[in-house]
Structure 1
Amino acid sequence: MSKILNTLFFCILGITQFGNVHGQTNDELKALRDSLLEINAYSNEVASFVPNVILPSPETRALFRSIDYSMNNSNGVIPIEIPLYTIQCGSISLPITLTYSTTGRKVSDVTGAVGLGWSLNTGGMVSRTVYGCPDETYNFPTGLKKANEYNLRNFADYDFLATLVHFDRSSPNYSDHYLDTEYDIFSYSVGSHSGSFVLKENQPVMLNAASPVRINTGGAYTTSITDENGTTYLFDNPEYTTSIFKGSIGQLTDFSTGTSLTKVTSCDGKQAINFTYSTYEYNLGPSTYDYLSITENTLEDRQEGGDMDRNTIQSRYDRLIKPSTVYSIYRVNRISTISFPGGTITFTQDNSDKKITQMKVKDTQGNQIKVIDFAYLRLETGIYALKTLTINNVEKYDFEYFPSQETTLFGKDYWGYKNSRGYFGITIPSITLADDKFTQIFGGTNDRLPNLGTTQDGILNKIIYPTGGWTQYYYELNQYNLRGIKSGGGLRVSQIRSADEEGNLIIKSYEYSNNGCGTYMVYPEDACRPSDDVFVEYYVPGQTYYGHYRRRSFNFEFNDDVSYLANAGIHYTAITEYTHNVSKGEFGKTVYFYDNPYEADATAEYPSRGVVSPVKDGKIFVSQFNSFWRKANLWIKHIYKKNGSDYELQTEIENKYDKTQIDRLYGLKIFTSAEFYNDSSYGLEKEGAYAGYEVFRFADYYISIGKEQLISSVETNYFPGGNIKKQTNYYYNDKGLLKKNVESFGNETVTKEWTYYYESENEMKSLNLLSPFKDYTVNYQNGAASSNVIDSNTYTYQKWGEKAWAPSQIYTFSSGKDTPYVIYHKYDDYGNPLWITDINSEDVIYVWGYNKQYLVAEIRNLPYATVDAALNMNSFSSAVVPDYSKIDKLRKDYPKAYVKSYTYKPLVGITSVTDVNGLKTTYEYDAESRLKAIKDHEGAVMQEFIYHFRR
């Protein structure tokens, strides 16, 4: 006989009651159920949990942790950064740095490219968190209504909602089953800019309306970001996350959850930096999710008053723990090379996990300029920390870490940080469930509470610098107050001790506001709830009643709908930093007050819309996101100096910000909460919905678009005889660029104003070339007197080639009028000025070399045509190494000309300067490319540099 199973999935905490459907009697409802239910068996299989949020790789999340969540003192975090090298390519400056996060050890943290906790920053990246389904494949529906406008008993509404959850592929009224009502969140970092955006109708929408950058996308796989200088960053090398779920779901397709930077191009397209990568794949599993399923046969029949058919239940409580249900596979990019007009940077990787072991900088002729070696320390199986960083075999950084014990993905607290317990195979803490007859304890011995010792596992403890100085970090657990003071997930810095090479010690200690308690936007007490309640009603053949039982599934993780706020960590409103200079016997105190960017985010409980057995489980979600464009900005800063036993206030800085919501995007969160099976297939859900069962749970949510800008800063300095106050007000244009600031000192006011060329030049605007000024004016006013212009510059730009905008004239204010300051007559194809007339009305010729990267000569008293004829300027400048004999000949042939020349060691520095009289000053470098001596034209040492590094 065919088995027909009817299972109603509800997230309920109490015993389900049946109620009336408006307009129908109980008899009519029973008749409808009779048509749906002919059940002679039921299944005890636990449905696999499928997360509706797909995250980037752990190392990408670590890279963006400080970007997405505004990490600073307000989180108890101290930023650590080590500069490695800066690429200079025309107007493009691209720093390469190492950064470290002190937030604590999560069980999902991996070694990454440069060791546990460290991130290598090579110019930028774009990450994506998938909410619901990938937006480049699943379109946002047009005409989406608000949640309260949908009625599950209306078949048209049901068909539409069924399409959204990809539940019924045979919905007759919707040919497009690839719809999604949640926005994926993209985060970016380029140069000095970072932020978030979403795709709407496959077009990027910036969430920070005050950002001057422009974003273009080709779905999730290609993103180009152009900054205010017209410099374009191209990201088109994707990274992928694949999640595999056991059970009927199977393997999901690869999700693009990040794209790596592949090219940086100047506005005129003449200068470019290119990036290549290797691919590394690893998995994070077995799963970090555990689910405890409990079946209870304690519900009595509500239709006929009979008892359940207890023969169909094997035991009163049937416990099933389902670990290892989810694996995540990450395919990430590891930087291999960076090439630019001046040279190449190569990154050597080991063969096992693609850790970077060496970074080598060479010029275009293959000369080695800089070598950085990375050595690692094994902390535990598969986990390595950066042990040493050695530059040119001389400058050496040593890193020391807290000891680490083996990590299991089950040994974690509520926030995912390593927990001292949890080595027993499951992440479900002990749960006591009771009814009127029985009490039973389920779960494991995990308490899921934070533990300082294991949260510190493998965390940076000390840095020893090349000079011999050092910095040591001390941590403590975060705290919060929710029905009592409790330890929270992650670490905060409690003290930093630093000493220079001579042993002079400075101690900084930190105290946190509200008795050391910060705030989270979501707490485990509220968010970690039963993940799924299953109510099963079944018909017993040959009988006149329905049986009932409840099956509850527990997991103690933050649900996906609040995961963004859960990962934001803690926020402290005020932090006090005590400074003790031990060597000098000096004491100081600084108090920082910060805005909380997450306080404007709103959470809500999913509403209940069922007529029969409405669901009320308290499950929460983020109903409005505001923090994508808000940061933990410094609000007030107090600086004290110790005088005797007291601290006296020396300086107060108070900042004010404009926080304005410009618009908001509307979306719909939806998931399945009841399933009806017919021969193990879907098909009767629509009838169940019509009967009043809550087949879907859904709710409105919003993502706001806004701007946050500093609008005033007041600095007050206190003295025994009074105080001095300075106030600065800031004003911005439509692109978020500063257009005016007003500084006030008592009765005196200085006003600075800027206008920008793009405001009147459409092509510059189309190139996002926003930064060039058109006018800059400084006015001074004392009291009621009229203001006077004390400084002014006016700029005129023109096109010198395709997309090549550069100044043609600059005027300055002098003697009450605008006076020509510089007139530009000619540029080369790289945007280098070749011929100008200066403020003294004297022509100056600039000669470039080393493939037009360096200025090699400055010539006066000769016409440009003469210099061009003597040197063949374009050919001379394009050579990898200039022919300086031509400069010498020019100097000899035209003795009255002013010729000053320069030689270089590319990527290192200037090697000589020859003045107008032919006298040469020489700059010498050691084997590590450090300046060691400056000598005059006779070879006498004018200045010598000695470097002291420990060996």
Structure 2
Amino acid sequence: MFKVYCSLLITCFFTVLAFGQPSSPTDIEIKKIIPPTPNAASLGSYGNVPIGLYTGQPNVNFPLYEIQYNDIVVPINLSYNYSGLKVEEYPSWVGTGWTLTGTGVISRQVRGLPDETTAGYNGSERNGLKTVDFINSGGNVSEFSQFLNGVRGGDKDAEPDIFVLSMPGHSAKFFFDETQCNTTLKQAIVIPHQKLEIVGHFNYELPYNIRMGIIEKFVVTDQKGIIYTFDITEKAAGVEPGDQEADFASSWYLSKIETPNNNVVTYEYADRILDMPATVFERRYIPIIDGGGPVNPGDAYSLTYNYTSTNEKILKRIRFRDGVIDFIEGDERLDWAFSYLSNKASEKPRSLSRMKVTIGGKVVKEIKFTYSYFGNDARLRMDSFQEMNGIEVKQPYVFSYKDGLFPTIGQESSLFHQDHWGYYMGSTSNGDLINTLIPPFSQSFQKPDGSLLIINVPGNSRTPNLNYSSAGLLEEITYPTGGSTQFEYESNYYRGSTQSQFNLCSGDFQFVAKSSVSFSWGNPGDTKEFTVTNPTCIKFEYSLDVPCIDGEAGVRIDEMGGRPIMYHIVQNKMAGMDYSDYGPDEGDVFTLEPGTYALTAWGINENTCGSPTEATITLNQIFQSPSGYANLRAGGARIKKTRDCSDDQNCIIKYYDYTDPDEITQSSGVLINDPAYFYLQSVIWDQNFTPTYIGSSQSSIPIASTMGGIIGYKSVTVTDDDLQANGKTIYKFSSAAEYPDEGSVDYPFPPRISNDWKRGAQLYRKDFSDTQIISNLIDGYCEVPTYNRQVGIKTKKLSDYKSGEYNVTLNDFDFVPYSISTGWTNLCSRNHLEYSYVNGAQQEMISEKDFFYENPIHQQVTRIETTNSKGEQLKSLIKYVEDVASLDGLTPEERVGIQAHPNKLAIIEQQQFNGASVVSTTRNIYNGPKLSKVQFATGTNQLEDYVNYNSYDNYNNVLNYTTRSGENKSYLWDNNGMFPIAEATNANHSDIYFTSFEINGVPFVDSNGNNLAISGTSVANSGSFSFPGSFQPADPSNTLMSYWYWQNNQWNFSGEIPYSNTITTAASRLDEIRAFPKGAFLTTLTNEPGIGTTSVTDSNNQSLHYEYDLLGRLLLVRDHNGNILKEYKYHYQGQN
């Protein structure tokens, strides 16, 4: 056998595996059918919001409702994901930073042409020369020329589109390669590799606007056999006249979920044409000629605003069996106030006002959302949400945020006010209004005569500024209980090399040197030398005071060779003060190359006037390690401190430290890659080839994210107080330090291979009590690459032209191929070291586990080997549906039934070993989606049937099972197959019957409104009843029946009497009618959909009733006679 090294993608699931392995027949778990007895409703938990330590982001999530079937749960949640104010990140319909989950969408990034169009990467013309053929053409000039000309002219497509999937329980990226061009049903390549089958349905015969070719839908099947259909399209287009040719489907929304047990969830959407805020793109050409300017300056810079609209899809309704969830919008939003002259939109977006759950025609839950706005109607803000139903209202969840300045949505000037990551950085820099996104450019070149050509082009430093980007961060959650959670933030930092120049000036400054003079007469000077060993950022402060006529004072920084870097001089003349300045000003941040420099303060005063002449300059630089690394500030915020409080006196405080525990002055943060705003190109200016730097406002290499964050932290230390007196926990994670992205970083900047699916895994967790380690959990991971091939090309111009006439030929173009790679990763080893201390001596206990994945088809753990702290060698072998070929002793029918099971995660066999000895074997036999039997054996004995599941209904609910010990249990379910209404012991399913008239009966209450029904809340409004023809007991003579009848103003029990298919009494009402074989015991239940169990009647026909308020909270438990056994009252802090 071989040990497979495995791995997953976009959201990577690093799963801790645990299996309950029965060691004796009594340990075999039988499906639990009857729900537990109702208990008091929780007032709702508070605090303990999990923090994503690898990215430093809080994972705020509020469950709103769950659609529950017997083989799927679809959660509807409100989640918060906001690390700071981004200029071009706009609020959803539930407010800034908030997202409503529970539906699904596939969106795409078009590369080149849309894949499905005639000339697209997977279009109808792709039966000819493909991209991979072109890459391997081996110098066929004719095909080379034809293909390359087609790509650069927009007539051919050389790159696959990238699709992003988000749906309940799964997220991934995927694409379609060129191996399936001859079919309209295309199997996607999933990144990272996971057990998802994604099929794109291409149709080349139907047009999308004026172009042929559409993707009709995507069908996704997960490992449990659940099918998700995405066929509701959303498209984006420009807003200018005649732009329909640019229209293409940009998103496909989830419309249906279908499960193997015939459960269905459907989604409905409304449409709205919506104008989107403008985007901006700048380009600048910087020729390398004396003076640094082009021959034709008008061609040196271009600015373009782009305007688009979208046919937005708004979730309107989710339908499930006998239920519906409605999403009700409120008024038009005030933060969408911009407009275009040629706009298409007829409406503004709206906020989500309410979410209403209706089951069986009755509203069981309603959630109201309350909003206001940040700034001057700048961004939608969720203030609170609360659950209600009729007059019953729970206390709300209330949110508080950090205040600040908020750029107005659609304001074009604010587009320039972004740092490298897109976060808001304010509108000014050093007092000047920012009006570009292109960073500054500075290069020096050796000229033929040996002199230096220095080119400096000003720009936007795009340095992160948390004072602005922190606006809108969630600072406090107040829970319905009165408890709260508070968040304190700080800037993201990463360990950056000063050699890269990127973001170099965003670190923390420290004092370097100070020069000063103060005198009444003479010409003193104070010079301090300082050395820069790596490129570093400098800023200074100075003050000059020249009170006497003809006095003079100044400060300066010079290279040791004499070239000035800057100076500032003040002269006091008869006519007034005279100023002379060169270079950077006070507070400006600028870069110094390695070398030795002089910092000088000086003055001249030959006429005393009673006041001293003074000059002072203080120099600060970015703190660097000797090896040339600095802690550099990245965009956005991370969690610094959390405070969970039940009240003002009872709080749990946690602190988060992201420095490297081995180098405590260094951040453990890792940036995935530097951006690339400039590249060198040969450009023709007036028919002369000139080396030219081409810069743009968007990086040609986007700064990659990692696990949803912008920085990944290798180490995080969590303490319960800032002095660590209560101990601490140190976590270590895999990061881009070990798993960087791969690929070219040069022009034409092909897409890089992302290795993010390997990052963010917890490598160890060390727990300390005060200063002593008490536990160390060490995890090891393994990887399996599954796909790596060249799929696309990026063309590049060998030269460009800006002025003059020039005919482009083939020799002016080249190309760079690029690959896409994926794989999967999983936990492969876990060592747990526990420490104790006796008389100061450390004692260690070690347990070790190894996990093996020996079937790459299903990627599940197949073997677990454990060495416990006693030194015992334990082993578990696990087989799944796709391992059925390796099982012995199956009948042909059993083998076929297991193979037909749609849930490929289902375990079909588990074996437990102690050393080399088999302890036990458990085997599950399936017939399609249904479990038919459970077999068990101890040691090496033969497997025996211990549980047989004999029958199911249409929704695969269990109707009957029997056990080896003689137990025979049967179940009845409600009409929707959602809830069990009867459990019978010692009876077959076809021999039992029960009704409490909950569906077709009438309510029965006294004059005070108290329920009088024996079970549930309804009764038959008659004294007669006929059993339905579908009930045909196998032996009527061996069948008993019972019922309750209302006569003489009271309930009377019939007793257990011989069965008859009709009941005739003089009573006015009937309830709790049962039929069952002699010797059987029957327990019955009633249920209110969306609320819970309303009554349980035991085999002695004694009932317990459960009463709820409109919010579904248990209020009363009554006995058979209506006496109150338990009463619950719910009180929230602050309520009267």
TM band (smaller chain)? 0.7 to 0.9
Residues paired across the two proteins, number: 813
- How many angstroms does 1:467 deviate by? 0.8
Amino acid at match of 1:667: V
- 1:823 aligns with 948
- 1:451 aligns with 465
Amino acid at match of 1:908: I
Amino acid at match of 1:222: K
Of residues 703-712 and 892-901 in structure 1, the stretch that sits farther from structure 2 once superposed is 892-901
* Aligned mate of 2:859, from 730, 733, 736: 736
- 1:221-254 CA distance string (max 9 Å, x none): 52222222211111222233436799xx977623
Structure 1 residues 324 and 66 mapped into 2: Cα distance closer, same or farther (>3 Å)?
farther
Structure 1: how far apart are the matches of 2:243 and 2:990?
Answer: 73
**Secondary structure in 1 matching 2:821:** strand
Q: What is the correspondence of 1:193-592 to structure 2 with a 5 Å cutoff?
A: 193-201=170-178, 203-207=186-190, 211-219=194-202, 220-242=215-237, 253-268=246-261, 270-293=262-285, 317-318=297-298, 321-352=301-332, 353-364=349-360, 366-380=361-375, 381-392=377-388, 393-407=393-407, 408-421=414-427, 424-431=434-441, 443=458, 446-480=460-494, 481-483=496-498, 484-501=630-647, 503-514=649-660, 515-524=666-675, 527-530=676-679, 534-538=683-687, 553-559=694-700, 569-580=710-721, 587-592=726-731
Structure 2: how far apart are the matches of 1:909 and 1:567?
Answer: 38
Amino acid at match of 2:847: K
Greater relative contact order (Cα 8 A, min sep 6): structure 1 or 2? 1
Amino acid at match of 1:399: F
Structure 2: how far apart are the matches of 1:915 and 1:427?
Answer: 74
Structure 2: how far apart are the matches of 1:90 and 1:161?
Answer: 55
- 1:605-633 CA distance string (max 9 Å, x none): 57xxxxxxxxxxx5473665142643411
Amino acid at match of 1:536: W
Query: Is this contact kept in 2: 1:669–1:701, CA < 8 A?
Result: yes
Query: Is this contact kept in 2: 1:529–1:619, CA < 8 A?
Result: no
Structure 1: how far apart are the matches of 2:10 and 2:1130?
Answer: 36
- How many angstroms does 1:146 deviate by? 8.7
- 1:614-663 CA distance string (max 9 Å, x none): xxxx5473665142643411111111122xxxx22111111111112233
Structure 1 residues 866 and 148 mapped into 2: Cα distance closer, same or farther (>3 Å)?
closer
- 2:84 aligns with 104
- 1:684-717 CA distance string (max 9 Å, x none): 433xx34xxxx22421221112121111111111
Structure 2: how far apart are the matches of 1:139 and 1:750?
Answer: 52
**Secondary structure in 2 matching 1:267:** coil
Structure 1: how far apart are the matches of 2:1017 and 2:149?
Answer: 68
Tell whether 2:179 aligns with 1:178. Answer: no
Q: TM-score scaled to structure 1, two decimals?
A: 0.77
Structure 2: how far apart are the matches of 1:398 and 1:923?
Answer: 32
Amino acid at match of 2:733: Y
Structure 1: how far apart are the matches of 2:948 and 2:708?
Answer: 55
Q: TM-score scaled to structure 2, two decimals?
A: 0.65
Of residues 385-394 and 273-282 in structure 1, the stretch that sits farther from structure 2 once superposed is 273-282
- 1:300-343 CA distance string (max 9 Å, x none): 9xxxxxxxxxxxx9977447653343234344322111110041
Structure 1: how far apart are the matches of 2:814 and 2:705?
Answer: 20
- 1:787 aligns with 917
* Aligned mate of 2:910, from 763, 776, 781: 776
Structure 1: how far apart are the matches of 2:294 and 2:99?
Answer: 53
**Secondary structure in 1 matching 2:163:** strand
- How many angstroms does 1:410 deviate by? 1.7
- 1:436-463 CA distance string (max 9 Å, x none): 899886555x321100011111121111
* Aligned mate of 2:792, from 668, 678, 682: 668
- 1:742-772 CA distance string (max 9 Å, x none): 2320322332222223443567657743133
**Secondary structure in 1 matching 2:672:** coil
- 1:173 aligns with none
- 1:593 aligns with 732
- How many angstroms does 1:830 deviate by? 1.4
Structure 2: how far apart are the matches of 1:739 and 1:153?
Answer: 50
**Secondary structure in 1 matching 2:416:** coil
Of residues 334-343 and 753-762 in structure 1, the stretch that sits farther from structure 2 once superposed is 753-762
Q: What is the correspondence of 1:851-890 to structure 2 with a 5 Å cutoff?
A: 851-867=976-992, 889=1043, 890=1073
Amino acid at match of 1:921: L
* Aligned mate of 1:836, from 961, 966, 981: 961
Amino acid at match of 1:929: G
- 2:821 aligns with 704
Structure 1 residues 517 and 328 mapped into 2: Cα distance closer, same or farther (>3 Å)?
farther
Structure 1 residues 210 and 530 mapped into 2: Cα distance closer, same or farther (>3 Å)?
closer
Structure 1 residues 817 and 419 mapped into 2: Cα distance closer, same or farther (>3 Å)?
same
- 1:405-462 CA distance string (max 9 Å, x none): 2312221001111112356443234556889899886555x32110001111112111
Query: Is this contact kept in 2: 1:165–1:670, CA < 8 A?
Result: no
- How many angstroms does 1:835 deviate by? 2.3
Structure 2: how far apart are the matches of 1:625 and 1:598?
Answer: 15
Query: Is this contact kept in 1: 2:995–2:1074, CA < 8 A?
Result: no
Query: Is this contact kept in 2: 1:821–1:838, CA < 8 A?
Result: yes
**Secondary structure in 2 matching 1:163:** helix
Structure 1: how far apart are the matches of 2:1018 and 2:701?
Answer: 61
Amino acid at match of 2:926: Y
Structure 1: how far apart are the matches of 2:425 and 2:323?
Answer: 47
**Secondary structure in 2 matching 1:212:** coil
- How many angstroms does 1:123 deviate by? 4.1
Structure 2: how far apart are the matches of 1:945 and 1:919?
Answer: 22
Q: Structure 2: state its 5+ residue gaps.
A: 1-8, 16-50, 181-185, 203-214, 333-348, 408-413, 499-629, 661-665, 885-894, 1002-1015, 1028-1040, 1044-1072
- 1:472-503 CA distance string (max 9 Å, x none): 11111122322143211221111112212464
Query: Is this contact kept in 2: 1:69–1:568, CA < 8 A?
Result: no
* Aligned mate of 2:845, from 718, 724, 733: 724
Structure 2: how far apart are the matches of 1:359 and 1:680?
Answer: 63
- How many angstroms does 1:573 deviate by? 0.9
Q: Structure 1: state its 5+ residue gaps.
A: 1-63, 168-176, 301-312, 539-546, 607-617, 800-804
Structure 1 residues 375 and 825 mapped into 2: Cα distance closer, same or farther (>3 Å)?
same
- How many angstroms does 1:576 deviate by? 0.9
- 1:754 aligns with 878
Q: Which has the higher helix share?
A: 1
Structure 1: how far apart are the matches of 2:951 and 2:959?
Answer: 5
Structure 2: how far apart are the matches of 1:402 and 1:164?
Answer: 49
**Secondary structure in 2 matching 1:156:** helix
Query: Is this contact kept in 2: 1:534–1:552, CA < 8 A?
Result: no
Structure 1: how far apart are the matches of 2:152 and 2:897?
Answer: 45
Structure 2: how far apart are the matches of 1:188 and 1:827?
Answer: 34
Structure 1: how far apart are the matches of 2:684 and 2:140?
Answer: 20
Query: Is this contact kept in 1: 2:739–2:756, CA < 8 A?
Result: no
Structure 1: how far apart are the matches of 2:631 and 2:801?
Answer: 47
Percent identity, aligned pairs only, is 22
Q: What is the correspondence of 1:87-98 to structure 2 with a 5 Å cutoff?
A: 87-98=67-78
Amino acid at match of 1:700: P
Query: Is this contact kept in 1: 2:234–2:251, CA < 8 A?
Result: yes
